[in-house]
Each structure stands twice: as structure tokens, then as C-alpha cells.
Structure 1
Amino acid sequence: MSEPRIRALALCIFHHHGKILVNQFYDAVEQRTLFRPIGGGIEFGERGIDAIVREVQEELALSISDVRLIGTLESIFTYAGKPGHEIVQVYDARFDDVDVYERSWLDGHESNGASFKATWCLGSSFTATSELVPEGLFELLKQASLLD
């Protein structure tokens, strides 16, 4: 069993007409749905901004621009019965292909090969039982006027 560690993570907010792009997860232990923006781990020696460009390219095969840091969060949580601890850099960016914003969803692939559909969701979609994660993200996005 590996020793617990803090994970450095970069997430990117793509917003359009009051909606943000998120990936949906289900925690079978807690029996709740979670939503998280696109992104992933920051590798050793990699800057957060470079990690988010790489992650979006790897997961969605799309290029982005106008990347800017909007905040950093610390998240201590339990998912699937296991504890987690992340330091999360949250970025805002734009897709270079403007047609992406007209799609209802985007097909993506995790680093382990699992496929997912990222969907555009309104702020009102997120509740206590269908939560936007990491903790504090909803409030950060409201402060940055990226969610209603």
C-alpha cells in the first residue's frame, strides 16, 4: 500500500453562455454524483499552466489559448472510501476551435484509456447531492464571475 501524499492538480474552466464544461463522476460508496472541470495532475518539473495545456490536449485532443490562473484551492476529501488531498490550481482558458462551444458534449479519454463525456452545465446544476468539486470551486467561480 502506498503512503498517502498531497497531489498537485491543474483544472481548467471553459465557460460559455453561463455554463461550464465538466466531467461527471459517481461515488458509489457515498452514492452521489460529482462534477469536476477538465484537468489532471501536474508532473514533477512541469508548471501548472503547461500541465493544463497538456491535459486538455491529451483528454480532448483540443488546443487552448488565453490561459490565466484564477485561483488555488486546497481540497481534503474522501472519494470511493479513500482519503485524498490535493492542491488545485484553477485556470480559465478558451478553446482555439470556437465550434466546440456549440457542441452539447465533448468526448474525452482519461490517461488510463477510460472514455468520458464532458458536458456544459449551468451553476444551478450543482447541488449538495450533485456537487461541483473540488471544495470551494463553486465560490471561486462565482467570485470570478464565471458562474451565476
Structure 2
Amino acid sequence: MVRLVDAARHRELVCRYPVDPAAGPALFHRLLGGSIELGERAADAAIREVAEELRFTVTELEFLGVAENIFTFEGENGHEIVFVYRAPVPSDVVPDEGAWFEEDDGAPMYVLWRDLAATTPPLYPDGVPDTAPTLEG
């Protein structure tokens, strides 16, 4: 997954998810990106997923860390291990008001700008780092 950040305007791109019928009226946001394909490195998957979803080519990618989540969505239990990256994105990739895009499987996806300081609606996956790890020693 990729934190696509417009640092000058203190915001990042996220997908908006509608109501989860099994959980009630909670709306949430999720970082862009998807699954790693067999034989593909995580960083290459992040670049490919952004290109497929937004038709934008990531040129600078910074590894932030790994997040692991156990969750329930639409009444189903899930478990994911997510490699998280950050990349700069120009302001004109998505209009200020957000826009509909299409995932590679044809599913519609609404992408919008989220303030970096926002705490609601929740951002998933849980535990997404916002800074790169530092090495001490």
C-alpha cells in the first residue's frame, strides 16, 4: 500500500469505502494499493497498483514499514500483512473534490484527498506508519 502524499497541502490520497452492511454505518478510508503477485517484489507491486488504479507512475518510493491486521469486513474475518510505502504525488492527479476511478477488475473506486492530521473516518489498515523507521546504533 502507498501513502500518496501531497506534502505542500498536508494531505494524502485514500479510497473511500461505503457502509459495511454487517458492521453498521461506519465509513472508512483505506490507502491505495493491492496484492503482491507471485514473483513480484512488494515495492514493484506498490508502483504497479498505483499505475493501475490512478494511471499515475510513482517515481520516488520510500519504505515505511509493515502493518499486520486481523479484521472483520462484510461479516467475513480477514488477516493481512501490508508493506507500506510513501510517495509524493502532484496535486492534479485527483481533483480537490475527489474522483471515481476503476480498479483493474472493473470495480469502481472513489479516491479523495484526506488531511494528514485527520483521525476520522478511520484509516485502514490499522497501524500504518507515517514515517520511515530509523536505525540506531
Scaled by the length of structure 2, the TM-score of the pair is 0.83
Q: Please name the residue that 1:84 is paired with.
A: 78
SS at match of 2:104: coil
Q: Please name the residue that 2:5 is paired with.
A: 15
Q: What stretches of structure 1 move > 6 A for 4+ residues in a row? A: none
CA distance in 2: counterparts of 1:102 and 1:83, whole angstroms = 32
CA distance in 1: counterparts of 2:94 and 2:107, whole angstroms = 24
CA distance in 2: counterparts of 1:124 and 1:70, whole angstroms = 17
CA distance in 1: counterparts of 2:37 and 2:91, whole angstroms = 30
Equivalent residues in 2 for 1:60-71, closer than 5 Å: 60-71=54-65
Asked if residue 35 in structure 1 is aligned to residue 25 in structure 2, the reply is no
CA distance in 2: counterparts of 1:125 and 1:47, whole angstroms = 31
Q: Please name the residue that 1:112 is paired with.
A: 105
How far did 1:117 drift?
2.1
SS at match of 1:66: coil
Q: Which amino acid aligns with 1:134?
A: P
Higher strand share: 1
Asked if residue 58 in structure 1 is aligned to residue 52 in structure 2, the reply is yes
Scaled by the length of structure 1, the TM-score of the pair is 0.77
Gaps spanning 5+ residues in structure 2: where? 133-137
Equivalent residues in 2 for 1:122-133, closer than 5 Å: 122-127=115-120, 130-133=121-124
- Does structure 1 conserve the Cα–Cα contact (< 8 Å) formed by 2:50 and 2:56? yes
Per-residue deviation, residues 21-57 of structure 1 (Å, max 9, x unmatched): 1001121211211101110000111001100111111
CA distance in 2: counterparts of 1:112 and 1:102, whole angstroms = 20
Gaps spanning 5+ residues in structure 1: where? 1-10
Higher helix share: 1
Equivalences, count: 127
Equivalent pairs: percent with the same residue? 32
How far did 1:102 drift?
7.0
